[in-house]
Amino acid sequence: MIRISAIWLSCLLGCCFFTTTQAQYFSMDNVRRVTIPFRLVRNLVVIELKINNKGPYNFVLDTGVGFMLITEPTLVDSIKMEGKRTIKMSGFGEGDDFDAYVTPPLKIDIPGLISHNVAAAILKKDHFSLSNYAGIAIHGLLGYEFFNHLAVNINFTDSVIRVSEPKNMRFFKKGTSIPITIENRKPYLNTKVVYANGTAINSKLIIDLGAGHFISLENVPNKNALQKKFISASLGMGIRGLISGSLSRIQEVDLGKYKLKNVIAAFPDEERSFSVPRDGNIGISLLKKFDIIFDYPNGLLYLKSRAGFGAVDEHDMSGLWYYAAGDGFNHLIINKVEPGSAADDIGLEKDDEIVLINFRAVSEMSLQHIDELFKSQNGRTYLLRIYRDKKYYNIPITLKRRI
């Protein structure tokens, strides 16, 4: 199971596996604008859609993937398709490559939109366990095809997505516009990153709506010299396993007229090469400080700051990785305890179940809410009821800021 504070969904593939020469995209269905509700679930933007008249299914909207990916293997039977073939896929993390089906074009039903030639890969085995991570059923990821012909406004204030042709989009009167490039079906921007020691580096970053972190900085020379206080940590889960590295804070990231200060940054240990050279990626924890418009056709990203834009950001202060288990995702199981963390200090262990937090059943709480509790305030204490070896224990945990 995974805790995707940095979900690394952008790290799926460097190649496009579709052989069709037909463009894959969505268009408007005889309307000027479409409004799509979404749920923010553990920093995942989740929308509902149908496939081949079956569903609805929950899909994560993710600019970091270059193709539609179905992560729930049982859908191969549910959506009744013919002509699928098998390919070999690979990704970051430790582990072997794995198999997936490639589908023929599917009918993707999002009210108000029409899909054109949109195919998908279907994992033969669920390598992400996104449903356990999110605490709700997640069936896949929708990326480039959703964005490539339209302007897409993601409003985190109202939890809606407004879609139109670029000429009909109501762009922000106040805010900023940033040039972007679309390379290998993913969006990139160039900006200045100021490290903890004051070093400023012009950086090319992928705009990764599916990555839960604030910013990840990769292939950085002398990164230890660029960080002051940092912790070693598991940064997330790639297709092939855990990605290790360190977490620290950097002085500043510039996004148009906005200068974001004291930003939490992830530094992966493993140096990697990419089909499109880049210096890192911006994740949703940074992006959701804004209401956003992606305009792929015109190569622009529009940002308008939201309430609380200047608030100090916090990392998890518990040191717990956990996931939802059971048919109703109503059991909260610890998957990992970070060394030196608050949870490690009180002796919590892998496979412990958290039953209550301050006498409230976790089955009545969303995982997003639990995440926020564990980021809330340095020194705050919660009483946990833990189930271990068929016994219950009441254990207080005092949150501890580590970066």
The number of distinct structural domains making up the chain is 3
Q: Which CATH number covers residue 343? A: 2.30.42.10
DSSP string, 193-214: EE-TTS-EEEEEEEE-TT--SS
Domain that holds residue 380: 320-398
Say if residue 38 is in the same domain as residue 21: yes
Looking at per-residue confidence, does 165 or 228 come out higher?
Answer: 165
pLDDT given for residue 268 in this prediction: 85
Name the pLDDT band for 281 (thresholds 50, 70, 90): very high
Map residue 131 onto helix, strand or coil. Answer: helix
Say if residue 213 is in the same domain as residue 232: yes
* 1 has pLDDT over 50: no
* 135 has pLDDT over 50: yes
pTM, 2 dp: 0.90
pLDDT given for residue 88 in this prediction: 67
pLDDT given for residue 214 in this prediction: 94
What is the rounded average pLDDT for all residues in the chain? 87
Q: What is the mean pLDDT of residues 188-212?
A: 93
* 22 has pLDDT over 90: no
Domain boundary (166, 190, 222) is at 166
Is beta strand 300-305 parallel, antiparallel or unpaired with respect to 290-295? Answer: antiparallel
pLDDT given for residue 238 in this prediction: 58
Nearest to 100 by CA among 81, 127, 134, 79: 127
Name the pLDDT band for 4 (thresholds 50, 70, 90): very low
Percentage of the chain surpassing pLDDT 70? 87
Q: What is the pLDDT of residues 333-351, one digit of tens each?
A: 999 999 999 999 999 999 9
Integer Cα distance of 43 and 40 in angstroms: 6
Say if residue 145 is in the same domain as residue 19: yes
Domain boundary (276, 305, 334) is at 305
Say if residue 208 is in the same domain as residue 158: no
* 256 has pLDDT over 80: yes
Percentage of the chain surpassing pLDDT 90? 68
Name the pLDDT band for 224 (thresholds 50, 70, 90): low
pLDDT given for residue 237 in this prediction: 59
* 57 has pLDDT over 80: yes
Domain boundary (166, 198, 224) is at 166
pLDDT given for residue 229 in this prediction: 78
Name the pLDDT band for 359 (thresholds 50, 70, 90): very high
For residue 86, list its beta bridge partners: 101
**Does residue 28 belong to any structural domain of this protein?**
yes
Say if residue 203 is in the same domain as residue 293: yes
Measured from the Cβ of residue 328, the count of other Cβ atoms closer than 10 Å reads 10
Q: Which CATH number covers residue 215? A: 2.40.70.10
**Does residue 312 belong to any structural domain of this protein?**
no
Say if residue 249 is in the same domain as residue 284: yes
Name the pLDDT band for 223 (thresholds 50, 70, 90): low
